[in-house]
């Protein structure tokens, strides 16, 4: 079974600084997708960034970028120029690429990291 | 386009009561999911559906039931509520996971307390 681990329950950063959130995962699959979701106090789950395992290039979305290390099964999120609005719980998630069989698009989530941004 | 809507937003149940959490999506998605999020934890899949009339269990289905009579609606039924079901419940929907840009769209969640 796939597992996702976020070893940092809480992180903090000063406004305008850079912070990196860690995520490791375990899978025997070679093709899969990894995601970072943001959950602000409103509880709404917001997709931040997505990485396809067969793509070596790290995904970027504006101030958000990932460091995907497939061999190490590591998937960290870097937030540059942190803003007060970045404060939230961040979840790392995994899903198999094979949509058939028992995959059905199931997302496996890590425990989450609470990010605090100090002004 | 309202996306995924859930009702109610909050609910307090007594032990042994039953209730239905409603979920509706207007994006014509075939796939729908129910997750629960316990305090300080990630989301865990309760049930999912790949289309009207087709549902199946996820990781934590005990104490819950679902039905899918239409593409739009995917209600979650709690029978004989227990304190262990105190959680925040999220409904999500998506197109086929076979698509490269696959994304699950989440509702705002229902906070349920069982006392």
B39 touches chain A (CB under 8 A): no
**pLDDT of the residue at A101:** 55
Kindly give the confidence (pLDDT) of every residue in chain A, 119 residues in length, as a single tens digit, with 9 standing for 90 and above.
789 999 999 999 999 999 999 999 999 988 899 999 999 988 889 999 999 998 889 999 999 999 999 999 999 999 999 999 999 999 999 988 765 555 567 889 999 999 999 99
Task: Among B97, B108, B109, select the one facing A99 at the smallest CB separation.
Answer: B97
| Alpha carbon B113 to chain centroid, angstroms | 16
B64 touches chain A (CB under 8 A): no
Give the lowest-confidence range in A58-67, B80-89, B92-101: B92-101
A50 contacts in chain B (CB < 8 Å): 103
Closest Cα in chain B, distance from residue A16 (Å): 27
Burial of B103 (0-12, 13-18, 19+ CB in 10 A): middle
**End-to-end CA gap in chain B:** 36
Instruction: Please state the φ and ψ torsions of residue B99, each to the nearest 5 degrees.
Output: -75, 140
Residue B58: pLDDT over 70: yes
Query: CB distance A95–B97 less than 8 Å?
Result: yes
H helix intervals, A5-115: none
With residues binned 3-state (H G I as helix, E B as strand, rest as coil), the percentages for chain B, rounded to 5, are 5, 50, 50
Closest Cα in chain B, distance from residue A15 (Å): 24
**pLDDT of the residue at B97:** 75
Residue B49: pLDDT over 90: yes
- Contact present, B2 and B15 (Cβ < 8 Å): no
Residue B109: pLDDT over 80: yes
């Amino acid at each position: 079974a796939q597992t996702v681990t976020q070893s940092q329950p809480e992180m903090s950063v000063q406004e305008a600084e850079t912070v990196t959130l860690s995520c490791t995962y375990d899978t025997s699959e070679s093709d899969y997708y990894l995601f970072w979701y943001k959950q602000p106090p409103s509880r709404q789950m917001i997709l931040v960034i997505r990485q396809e395992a067969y793509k070596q290039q790290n995904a970027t979305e504006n101030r958000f970028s990932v460091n995907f290390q497939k061999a190490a099964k590591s998937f960290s999120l870097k937030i540059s120029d942190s803003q007060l609005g970045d404060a939230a719980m961040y979840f790392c998630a995994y899903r198999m690429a094979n949509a058939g069989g028992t995959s059905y698009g199931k997302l496996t989530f890590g425990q989450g990291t609470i990010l605090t941004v100090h002004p | 386009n309202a996306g995924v809507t859930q009702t109610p937003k909050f609910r307090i149940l007594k032990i042994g009561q039953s209730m239905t959490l409603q979920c509706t999506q207007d994006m014509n998605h075939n796939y729908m999911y129910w997750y629960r999020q316990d305090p300080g934890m990630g989301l865990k899949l309760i049930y999912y559906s790949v289309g009207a009339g087709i549902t199946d269990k996820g990781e934590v289905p005990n104490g819950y039931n679902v039905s899918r009579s239409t593409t739009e609606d995917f209600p979650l039924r709690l029978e004989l509520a227990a304190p262990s079901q105190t959680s925040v419940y999220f409904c999500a929907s998506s197109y086929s996971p076979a698509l490269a840009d696959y994304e699950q769209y989440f509702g705002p969640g229902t906070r349920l307390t069982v006392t």
